[in-house]
Amino acid sequence: MSSVPSDSSARTPRRRSVALRTTSGVAALVALVMVSLALVTVTVAGRVVDSRLDDQARETWQRTAGFVTGPGRGFDVSSGSDRGGGSREPGYAPGLPIDAISLTVDVTGVVSTASRFDTDGLLTSLPDEDVASLKAVAADYRAAARSDRLTTRLELTSGNYLVMAGSLAAAEITGPTRPGNDGQSSDVVDPDTVLLVGLSTAEVDGTKANLWLIQSVGSAVALLLVGLSVWWWIRRSLRPLHDVSQAAVRVAAVPMASGTVELEKYRVPEPLAQPTDEVGDVGHAMNQLITSVDAALAARSASEQRLRDFIADASHELRTPLAAVRGYADMIRLTESLGQSGQDMLDRVLQQSTRMGSLVENLLLLARLDAAEKAGAESDELAISTKSIDVGELVIDAVTDATATGRDHTWHAHIPPDPVIVPGDRVQLTQLLANLLSNARKHTPAGTVVTTRLSVESGQAVITVTDTGPGIDPMLLGRLFDRFVRGDTARTTTEGSTGLGLSIVRSITRAHGGDVTVTSRPGDTTFSVRLPLEDHE
């Protein structure tokens, strides 16, 4: 009984290739390294630029405080003079960066100056909300009673700023007095005044953002290049292993159940079968396995062929002496006077010679079908005829004959109203049905109901023979269609059996391009034969 190979790929998801899995692993490791390196780089670079901004803010605050408190600077703040005139306005301090802001708050909380040095080099007044935010920083500074400067970041209307607050008394260059118009000193700057100087963080934030962008894009491009390079290299390195695995796949796909099989053409190429590395070891072992299996299959095929030839020759040679035995037995019956005992013995001889003749004919048929299967039905002498056969007629005739032979059984037949045409040999298909019905009759007790049903399913003619007998021993089901297998131990039999009937059924079915199966349990045993319908195209 032919079997349909199971599609394991339909049940088990296909695993990714070794090259893809290795590339994925390497890419993941490289990505982890790149991400770690990018984080470290950006963090360190960010701290460096932030430190430089802090140093710049510290220097700017110190320079602005020195400008405000230094002696001999000319007018006081209220004079309104420009930068060149020596005004003590913090916004006029030398070297003040663009977008820098400054604010002074006296001890009473009164803002003396609040300006921003814009991109045009002019001082502009700070908005009230910015002044309020800066005053809050000054209040925090006073509340903390700090002796050093306070640095914080603020979000103002013109952007983000790093603001440094400190009292003028903390300036390294202090000058609480300056000469007046009369050459005498007069107090013009209160050392408790809090000076706030802010530098825009836009450039620093832009630098860090650009650094993040460069690291991200660069890492992605590098990862892509590394992944493609690793993929190419691994595929190139694993190509010999792929060739060896393909050779193994081709060998595995060769049907080795029967017939002559030649595996030498599936050998791994010699360059891949040199035991110099892992791939060579696998290839060499594969070739050794192919050689061993090929030799074993050749020996098996030769042994099977000798056995088939012996059975065919023996069966053919036995036909003549068996015919002679039957002929002489008939002659003795007609010409000699025998007593009752002699007549019984003669009947026994005729019965056994008839049984032996049936066995010889069955062996000859099996040998012919085996030879046709082995030769691929290329020989006209071995190939079965392919006339159009109405299976419904064969079923009716077979059930009618079984009814006449097995009167102690109940026989039913169900066929469709339309003809069911298959291409095949009428004699062989008739024998197929006769063997199935005879099997049901011989191996079931009296009173068993045997139902034969013909139907059409999926482009095939389906013949089922079902009986209500005791069933078949489960131990026999797997080899029921083998030769010389008898089911007498499983089901009641009243007649002798050669054990070839079901083997002939399977051989005839296969010769017609079909298949036969059996299911059995007590009270329900079903043989199913499937034959391809005739193609009308």
What is the predicted pLDDT for the residue at 13?
Answer: 57
Helix (H) or strand (E) holding 244: helix 202-252
pLDDT digits (tens, 9 = 90+) for 492-502: 444 555 677 78
What is the predicted pLDDT for the residue at 75?
Answer: 33
What is the predicted pLDDT for the residue at 491?
Answer: 44
Q: Is the pLDDT of residue 180 over 70?
A: no
Q: How confident is residue 348, by pLDDT bands cut at 50, 70 and 90?
A: confident
* Percent of the chain scoring above 90 in pLDDT: 14
DSSP bridge pairs for 456: 461
pLDDT digits (tens, 9 = 90+) for 383-418: 456 788 999 999 999 999 999 988 999 999 999 999
Q: Is the pLDDT of residue 454 over 90?
A: yes
Q: How confident is residue 531, by pLDDT bands cut at 50, 70 and 90?
A: very high
Q: What are phi and psi of 338, to 5 degrees?
A: -120, 145
Average pLDDT of span 341-353: 80
What is the predicted pLDDT for the residue at 433?
Answer: 92
Q: Is the pLDDT of residue 376 over 70?
A: no
Which DSSP string do the residues of 61-78 spell out, in sequence order?
HHHHHHHHH-SS--S-GG
Out of 63-77, 108-122, 416-430, least confident range: 63-77
What is the predicted pLDDT for the residue at 494?
Answer: 47
Helix (H) or strand (E) holding 133: helix 128-144
pLDDT digits (tens, 9 = 90+) for 122-170: 888 889 898 999 988 888 888 887 767 888 888 888 889 999 888 887 6
What is the predicted pLDDT for the residue at 351?
Answer: 75
Residue with tokens 């008898």: 486
pLDDT digits (tens, 9 = 90+) for 304-338: 677 667 766 666 667 677 778 778 788 887 887 87
Average pLDDT of span 208-236: 86
Residues 6+ apart with CB under 8 A from 346: 329, 332, 333, 338
What is the predicted pLDDT for the residue at 171?
Answer: 65
What is the predicted pLDDT for the residue at 529?
Answer: 94
**In CATH, what class is 36-208?**
alpha beta
The rounded distance, in Å, linking the Cα atoms of 153 and 140 is 13
Q: Are 444 and 411 in contact (CB under 8 A)?
A: no
Q: Is 320 helix (H, G, I), strand (E, B) or coil?
A: helix
Q: Is the pLDDT of residue 265 over 70?
A: yes
What is the predicted pLDDT for the residue at 186?
Answer: 37
CATH assignment of 387-532? 3.30.565.10
Residues 6+ apart with CB under 8 A from 536: none
- What's the predicted TM-score (pTM) here? 0.45
Q: Are 373 and 367 in contact (CB under 8 A)?
A: no
Per the model's pLDDT, the better-predicted residue between 345 and 84 turns out to be 345
Q: How far is CA 535 from CA 136, 285, 384, 493, in A?
A: 98, 47, 17, 41
What is the predicted pLDDT for the residue at 448?
Answer: 93
Q: Is the pLDDT of residue 114 over 60?
A: yes
The segment with the largest mean pLDDT, out of 1-10, 58-67, 279-288, 444-453, is 444-453
Out of 22-26, 34-38, 374-378, 530-534, least confident range: 374-378
Average pLDDT of span 170-180: 47
Average pLDDT of span 247-258: 76
Q: Report the chain's mean pLDDT, rounded to a whole number.
A: 78
Q: Is the pLDDT of residue 506 over 90?
A: no
The rounded distance, in Å, linking the Cα atoms of 174 and 492 is 127
Q: Is the pLDDT of residue 451 over 80?
A: yes
What is the predicted pLDDT for the residue at 453?
Answer: 94
Distance of CA 435 to the CA centre of its chain: 48
Out of 147-156, 195-204, 236-245, 506-515, least confident range: 236-245
Q: Is the pLDDT of residue 490 over 50?
A: no
Q: How confident is residue 455, by pLDDT bands cut at 50, 70 and 90?
A: very high
What is the predicted pLDDT for the residue at 468?
Answer: 92
